[in-house]
Chains A and B, each alone.
Chain A
Amino acid sequence: MNQPAPYVHWGFVVLSLPNLVLIGVMLGLFALALVLPFPGRRHRRPAADEERRDG
């Protein structure tokens, strides 16, 4: 741990490996959030919030 992190050189882009891993984890989390079903979805009333703005 007590040493500089390895760096990835890609043209003019220079990233530390921990930062690259973190970016990958964030992209993975974002993709999962888009595809994973949300629990309790069928029990929600559609567009309840719209009534207030429309009325």
Chain B
Amino acid sequence: MAEGRRAGGSWTRALRRMIERELPTEHLLPDQEPAYVASWVYVFGVVAIAALVWVMVSGVVLAFFGPQWWHVSPQGHVVNSIHFWSVQLFFIFMVLHLWGQYFGATWRDGRATTWMVGVVVFLVSIGTAFTGYLAQQNFASQWIAVNAKDAINSTGAGAFFNVLNFGQMYGLHVMLLPIVITTLVAVHLVQVRMRGVVKPIETEPS
């Protein structure tokens, strides 16, 4: 057993070799791209990430100062608005990115997991936006929660996902779901770097 370990190497060595093989550092932040990437369609994804950065930064400020600040103070109104509108931009450009990838069939050539991680990011983002609307602490959030509880209860999920429980919705919105989104977006980007950008359909050999 001990010999086997020496011969095969430790799991840390195997992991290091796998990273060196799959993720050579010179390709993580490339300075050159294929010619077909020179299109505005490929900009949508990075604009969505830029919007996500604004969402995260403004969200951290909102979480630090709290609901009274974002409702009452002029500075709070500004940061609250930045958070709201950057979320709108995030969704707009995420959907435009989705359209671009869908019509380019970019799950081709071993990129199915990249596509699926993107789909999961989209779904988790919807849940995060929903809990964000519930965490506003205004009449709109009360209205949304009271209506949504019936929809959630009809699925049977109301017992462990209670939209009327502000603490649960706020905790999900500011801690758990942002961690999931950030992690998945990082995985998505690494997957794109590992496999490169898919060739356009017209360049595929027939």
Binding site for B on A (CB under 8 A): 22, 26, 29-30, 32-34, 36, 38, 40-41, 44-50, 52-53
**Across the interface, which residues of B come within 8 angstroms of A49, CB to CB?**
30, 32-34, 196-197
Cβ contact of A33, chosen from B37, B41, B95, cutoff 8 A: B41
Contacting pair B35 A45 (CB below 8 A): yes
Contacting pair A36 B40 (CB below 8 A): yes
Cβ contact of A45, chosen from B32, B40, B92, B96, cutoff 8 A: B32
Decide yes or no whether B43 CB sits under 8 A from chain A.
yes
Binding site for A on B (CB under 8 A): 24, 27, 30, 32-35, 37-41, 43-44, 92, 95-96, 99-100, 195-197
**Across the interface, which residues of A come within 8 angstroms of B37, CB to CB?**
44
Contacting pair B38 A30 (CB below 8 A): no
Which secondary structure dominates chain A's binding surface?
A: helix
Bound Cα distance A50, B196 (Å): 8
**Across the interface, which residues of B come within 8 angstroms of A47, CB to CB?**
34-35
**Across the interface, which residues of B come within 8 angstroms of A50, CB to CB?**
34, 196
18 new A-B contacts at CB < 8 Å, known A32-B40, A49-B30: A26-B95, A30-B41, A30-B96, A33-B39, A33-B41, A33-B44, A33-B100, A34-B39, A34-B40, A44-B33, A44-B37, A45-B35, A48-B30, A48-B33, A49-B32, A50-B196, A52-B196, A53-B196
